[in-house]
């Protein structure tokens, strides 16, 4: 019986320098890499040969593969899917359709997750590329390339010389991904990616390859531009690698130019935008586009460098074969050489591990941004889709493949049972757990507040040793002085009226005398109460110890002299107006310190008294300072220290007392251990790691589900 499939006559086949053949479909402009055996089988399909003859010839060409009819059938499905063969008569297309032949129930739901990777073609840029090529070709001249290299080396030198300054100027993750910055960075991102893809397209055209497609691709809900330069497969390896690297080189050159501009720019919005663009064009490019573990430019560079086409799919096949052998005990035949197989196994495992870490990072990023923008429901939905598409579906697919394996027997079930028990034990094994939170070092001494408003007159300096009752500062309030004067006048007037009536015989028995006496007593009482309250204008020490400064207040842009800054009781703030409730300082021992940490509401349930803590200040210190949890506030914090916002440790809306947190936060009081030889500086900020009770992977997953849904 004839095999009703015929190789298309219009296909273009070119030998690949890594072995095998590249087959180009001139109609769809799709490219397929086939090894020598697969290409020979393709050429056998002339519409007259039978399926058995094709299988027999394939076995003769490659006896070590031990081909079976299902192997040939699967290969024919691949050829039909790539439209490299055409059908001579009906009836077989449904049988060769991999979707129709699949019995896995996942085929019914897997299309729902294609929204994680949508691709939309926009235009054919061939004419535009050809029109612009005479101008762009100047950039490929050796003198221009050398100039760009010199600019890159100069930028590296600037980064090396001013690395500390650049590191301090880097935006925090909250600022970089904040709603106000995201719109600007989205415009920058789109512009950079247009130049990135233009680099691929123009370089391909420069070497003679075609670029007939460009569009937009949605990857995990993130828009990414793309250009199809698959025609570069027909070029030599060195030219292919230059085409692949062109986009990365364009972005790194943009980063180099912006580093130089940043070094000359004055502090402000422009300088911040330049640095953000540098981060986007360097760190983002290296971690994603240049990463060989993801199917971006770095992956294709590695593929051409090692000479292994279809690296990801071949590595995935080797990993799956290895897992199947471990679980089922069935040793499937591999066509890969031993040395190549080891490399593919190492790459496949590294890629899988990186994808797991990347998935966790994406889930964390979605959670943080959804909380930052107060769209938790949307964040939970995206997390569920990502978790299902990247974790659940691949795992369930692999399990179905195990269950559908032809060699499944009692030994296989025993291995799978052992593997399941091991996984359950690992899921229940308690693992160390910790909570990380922003923190600030504060005095544990007695605070001193201004209980009345007034004009400041400093008496003592910070760092002076004082005794209980010592005058620290004086406040002068003209309104209060006028009030006291009015009260004294009222008392004097009542006394004069009473004396006048008592000294005059005619009025000595007047009925007004009792009322005047009561009025006089009331005036004296009001004056005494006022003087007792006004005595608070003289700020005194509540105890013996050192007069310690409060947190510094940043300078305000308001030119009025009444607005003070820094620490209140300073000579430069003499004459400034101090509001009621202003913290003037502390009195106590200078090394009697406490650490206040702001713990997120999702983590506060793990924190309790007596847990060990490590405090790492933001001062470049590489070691943690040991401490112990003292108490946990049960009321939500209304204001966070402004130092956390300055250091990029927390975000929120500015208020008079600090910053209003964007997320529900609880304060945790932490005391330093007595054995700490060198305490941290007063009001230094950093992060604490609170070592909480252990939690298993199952407990963490269930907690994640409770918080998410």
Residues in Cβ contact with 577 at an 8 Å cutoff, skipping those fewer than 6 apart: 453, 454, 455, 456, 562, 563, 564
Please check whether residue 706 lies inside any domain of the structure. no
Q: How far separated are the first and last CA of the chain, in Å rounded?
A: 58
Closest to 567 measured CA to CA, from 556, 551, 580, 579: 551
Closest to 312 measured CA to CA, from 364, 347, 272: 347
Contact 584, 450 (CB under 8 A): yes
* 182 and 72 housed in the same domain: no
Q: Are strands 222-228 and 213-219 parallel, antiparallel or unpaired?
A: antiparallel
Residues in Cβ contact with 617 at an 8 Å cutoff, skipping those fewer than 6 apart: 441, 625, 680, 681, 684, 685, 686
Round to whole Å and give the CA distance between 365 and 457. Answer: 50
Round to whole Å and give the CA distance between 355 and 358. Answer: 5
* Alpha helix segments (H runs only) across 139-236: 142-161, 163-169, 173-176, 179-206
Contact 585, 541 (CB under 8 A): no
Segments of the chain with pLDDT less than 70: 1-3, 65, 88-118, 171-181, 218-222, 327-335, 368-369, 371-374, 376, 389-390, 398-413, 415, 555-563, 619-623, 656-657, 704-709
- 442-447-449-451 Cα dihedral, nearest 10 degrees: 140
* 272 and 186 housed in the same domain: yes
What are phi and psi for residue 570, nearest 5 degrees?
-135, 155
Round to whole Å and give the CA distance between 442 and 682. Answer: 6
Round to whole Å and give the CA distance between 84 and 75. Answer: 11
* CB hemisphere CA count around 366 (13 angstroms): 22
Q: Which of 398, 428, 458 is the last residue of a domain?
A: 428
Q: Which pLDDT score, from 0 to 100, does residue 371 have?
A: 66
Please check whether residue 381 lies inside any domain of the structure. yes
User: Residue 20 forms beta bridges with which residues?
Assistant: none
Round to whole Å and give the CA distance between 7 and 5. Answer: 7
Please check whether residue 700 lies inside any domain of the structure. no
What CATH number is attached to the domain comprising 607? 2.40.30.170
435 burial type by CB count under 10 A (0-12 exposed, 13-18 middle, 19+ buried): buried
* 618 and 684 housed in the same domain: yes
Q: Which two tokens stand for residue 15?
A: 């030998």
* Alpha helix segments (H runs only) across 329-438: 338-372, 376-387, 393-403, 410-428
What CATH number is attached to the domain comprising 32? 1.10.10
Report in angstroms the alpha-carbon separations of 11 from 24, 84, 213: 6, 7, 19
Query: HEC profile for 344-373?
Result: HHHHHHHHHHHHHHHHHHHHHHHHHHHHHC
Please report which helix (H) or strand (E) contains residue 257, including its range.
helix 237-264
Q: Are strands 612-617 and 12-15 parallel, antiparallel or unpaired?
A: unpaired
Please check whether residue 709 lies inside any domain of the structure. no
* 189 and 234 housed in the same domain: yes
Q: Which of 278, 307, 336 is the last residue of a domain?
A: 307
Task: State the total domains in the chain.
Answer: 5
Closest to 548 measured CA to CA, from 466, 470, 463: 463
**With DSSP H G I counted as helix, E B as strand and the rest as coil, what are the percentages for the chain, rounded to 5?**
50, 20, 30
Q: Which pLDDT score, from 0 to 100, does residue 97 have?
A: 43
Please check whether residue 699 lies inside any domain of the structure. no
* 199 and 276 housed in the same domain: yes
Q: Range of 634's domain?
A: 435-444+592-694
Q: How far is CA 502 from the centre of its chain?
A: 85
* 454 and 528 housed in the same domain: yes
- What is the DSSP secondary structure assignment for residue 184, as one 8-state letter? H
* 387 and 473 housed in the same domain: no
3-state secondary structure of 468: coil
Round to whole Å and give the CA distance between 599 and 605. Answer: 10
473 burial type by CB count under 10 A (0-12 exposed, 13-18 middle, 19+ buried): buried
Q: Which pLDDT score, from 0 to 100, does residue 467 have?
A: 93
Round to whole Å and give the CA distance between 216 and 167. Answer: 34
Q: Which pLDDT score, from 0 to 100, does residue 620 have?
A: 56
Q: Which two tokens stand for residue 659?
A: 């910053």
What is the DSSP secondary-structure string of 64-83? GG---HHHHHHHHHHHHHTT
Q: Which pLDDT score, from 0 to 100, does residue 406 have?
A: 47
* 78 and 226 housed in the same domain: no
* 472 and 538 housed in the same domain: yes
418 burial type by CB count under 10 A (0-12 exposed, 13-18 middle, 19+ buried): exposed
The dihedral through the CA atoms of 430, 432, 438, 442 has a sign that is positive
* 605 and 675 housed in the same domain: yes
* 11 and 115 housed in the same domain: no
* 92 and 155 housed in the same domain: no
Number of H helices, E strands in the chain: 22, 24
Report in angstroms the alpha-carbon separations of 356 from 138, 291, 294, 363, 608: 43, 15, 12, 11, 32
Q: Which pLDDT score, from 0 to 100, does residue 243 have?
A: 94
Round to whole Å and give the CA distance between 241 and 307. Answer: 11
Q: Which two tokens stand for residue 20?
A: 């095998």
Contact 347, 286 (CB under 8 A): no
Report in angstroms the alpha-carbon separations of 378 from 177, 367, 369: 17, 10, 10
Please check whether residue 702 lies inside any domain of the structure. no
Q: Which of 72, 101, 130 is the last residue of a domain?
A: 101
Query: The pTM is what?
Result: 0.63
Round to whole Å and give the CA distance between 579 and 552. Answer: 16
Please check whether residue 358 lies inside any domain of the structure. yes
Please check whether residue 708 lies inside any domain of the structure. no
């Amino acid at each position: 019986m004839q095999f009703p499939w015929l190789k298309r006559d219009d296909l273009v086949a070119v030998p690949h320098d890594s072995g095998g053949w590249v087959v180009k479909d001139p109609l769809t402009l799709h490219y397929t890499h086939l090894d020598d055996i697969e290409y020979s089988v393709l050429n056998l399909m002339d519409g007259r040969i039978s399926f058995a003859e094709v299988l027999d010839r394939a076995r003769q060409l490659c006896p070590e593969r031990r081909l079976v009819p299902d192997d040939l059938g699967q290969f024919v499905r691949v050829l039909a899917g790539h439209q490299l063969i055409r059908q001579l008569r009906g009836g077989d297309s449904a049988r060769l359709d991999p979707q129709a032949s699949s019995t896995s129930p996942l085929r019914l739901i897997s299309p729902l997750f294609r929204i994680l990777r949508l691709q939309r073609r926009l235009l054919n840029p061939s004419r535009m590329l050809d029109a612009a090529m005479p101008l762009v070709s100047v950039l490929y001249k050796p003198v221009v390339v050398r100039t760009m290299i010199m600019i890159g080396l100069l930028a590296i030198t600037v980064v090396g010389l001013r690395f500390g300054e650049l590191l301090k100027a880097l935006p925090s993750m909250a600022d970089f991904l904040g709603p106000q910055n995201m719109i600007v960075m989205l415009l920058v991102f789109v512009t950079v990616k247009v130049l990135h893809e233009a680099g691929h397209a123009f370089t391909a055209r420069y070497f003679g390859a075609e670029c007939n497609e460009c569009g937009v691709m949605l990857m995990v809900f993130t828009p990414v531009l793309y250009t199809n330069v698959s025609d570069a497969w027909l070029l030599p390896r060195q030219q292919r690698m230059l085409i692949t690297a062109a986009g990365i080189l364009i972005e790194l050159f943009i980063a180099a130019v912006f580093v130089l501009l940043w070094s000359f720019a004055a502090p402000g919005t422009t300088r911040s935008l330049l640095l953000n663009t540098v981060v986007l064009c360097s760190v983002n490019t290296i971690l994603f586009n240049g990463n060989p573990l993801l199917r971006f430019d770095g992956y294709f560079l590695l593929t051409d460098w090692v000479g292994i086409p279809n690296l990801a799919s071949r590595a995935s096949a080797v990993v799956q074969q290895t897992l199947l052998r471990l679980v089922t005990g069935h040793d499937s035949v591999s066509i890969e050489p031993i040395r190549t197989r080891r490399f593919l196994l190492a790459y496949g495992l590294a890629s899988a591990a990186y994808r797991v870490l990347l998935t966790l990072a994406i889930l964390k990023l979605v959670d943080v941004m959804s909380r930052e923008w107060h769209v938790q429901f949307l964040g939970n939905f995206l997390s569920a889709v990502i978790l299902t598409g990247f974790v659940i579906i691949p795992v369930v697919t692999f399990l179905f493949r195990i269950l559908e394996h032809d060699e499944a027997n009692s030994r296989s079930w025993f291995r799978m049972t052992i593997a399941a028990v091991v996984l359950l034990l690992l899921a229940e094994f308690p693992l160390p757990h910790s909570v990380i939170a922003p923190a600030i070092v504060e005095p544990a001494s007695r605070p001193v507040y201004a209980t009345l408003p007034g004009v400041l007159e400093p008496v003592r300096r910070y760092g002076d040793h004082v005794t209980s009752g010592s005058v620290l500062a004086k406040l002068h309030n003209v309104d209060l002085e006028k009030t006291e004067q009015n009260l004294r006048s009222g008392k004097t007037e009542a006394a004069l009226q009473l004396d006048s009536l008592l000294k005059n015989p005619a009025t000595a028995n007047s009925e007004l005398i009792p009322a005047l006496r009561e009025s006089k007593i009331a005036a004296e009482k009001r004056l005494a109460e006022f003087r007792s309250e006004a005595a608070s204008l003289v700020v005194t020490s509540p105890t013996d110890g050192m007069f310690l400064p409060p947190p510094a207040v940043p300078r305000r842009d308001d030119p009025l002299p009444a607005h003070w800054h820094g620490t209140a009781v300073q000579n430069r703030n003499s004459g400034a107006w101090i509001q009621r409730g202003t913290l003037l300082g502390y009195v106590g021992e200078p090394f009697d310190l406490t650490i206040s940490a702001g713990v997120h509401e999702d983590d506060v349930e793990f924190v309790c008294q007596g847990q060990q803590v490590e405090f790492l200040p933001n001062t470049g210190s590489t070691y943690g300072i040991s401490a112990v949890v003292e108490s946990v506030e049960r009321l939500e914090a209304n204001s966070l220290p402004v130092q956390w916002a300055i250091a990029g440790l927390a975000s929120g809306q500015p208020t008079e007392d600090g910053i209003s947190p964007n997320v529900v936060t609880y304060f945790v009081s932490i005391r330093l251990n007595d054995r700490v030889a060198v305490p941290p500086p007063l009001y230094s900020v950093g992060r604490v790691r609170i070592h909480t009770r252990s939690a298993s992977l199952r407990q963490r997953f269930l907690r994640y589900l409770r918080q998410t849904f």
